[in-house]
Amino acid sequence: MYTKDELRQFRTDFWNQFNLKMKKIKSSSGRKMNWLAYPSDVKDIYIRIDTDGKGARLTFDIQGKDEGVRQILWEQLQELKIVMESEMGTDGIWIENASSLSVPKFNRILWERNDLNFFKPEDHTEIQNFLADRLIHFDAFYQEFKDILINLAM
């Protein structure tokens, strides 16, 4: 078991190492990218990466308070599902009307690996490879279609 300070350092070291790995990689649009805080350029759309003792994941969340806008964005993504999953190389998990303690209602697309454990240092390379691969493929899709989402969200 880790102390609070050890856990903070463990997480900091992991994400710093991941950031160094990704720093060399540009977006498919050619611009430098902050991969740890992927910019959606759309209000209420969040792209996040995460890892813990249960796995590693990339999530695409639509968290708009306006139910109508959230539904329009969700429907558009469903229209693009085949293109998105083709680019990703794998099917995502599509969750309509999810909820959490901080967000009462949102839609989510999720790519994850449940066979990895952040607390096992021997899994760190595989976690980083998985997250990097998912982000790069997602970026290729997102850069091509984000203008559609931006226009729908206005």
Look at residue 117 in the predicted model and tell me its pLDDT. 97
pLDDT at 85: 96
What is the rounded CA–CA span in Å between residue 152 and residue 146?
Answer: 10
Predicted local distance difference test score (pLDDT) of residue 137: 97
- Phi, psi (degrees; rounded to nearest 5) at 103: -130, 110
Entry pTM: 0.92
**Per-residue pLDDT reduced to its tens digit, 93-107:** 999 988 888 888 999
Q: In the structure encoding, which two tokens stand for residue 44, read together?
A: 């209420």
What separation in angstroms does the CA of 106 have from each of 11, 72, 75, 93, 117?
27, 13, 13, 14, 26
Instruction: Determine how many CB atoms are found less than 10 A away from the CB of residue 73.
Output: 21
Say if residues 93 and 112 touch (Cβ distance below 8 Å): yes
Q: What is the pLDDT of residue 8?
A: 94
> pLDDT digits over 14-73, tens only?
999 999 999 999 999 999 999 999 999 998 899 999 999 999 999 999 998 888 999 999
CA atoms of 85 and 131, how far apart (whole Å): 16
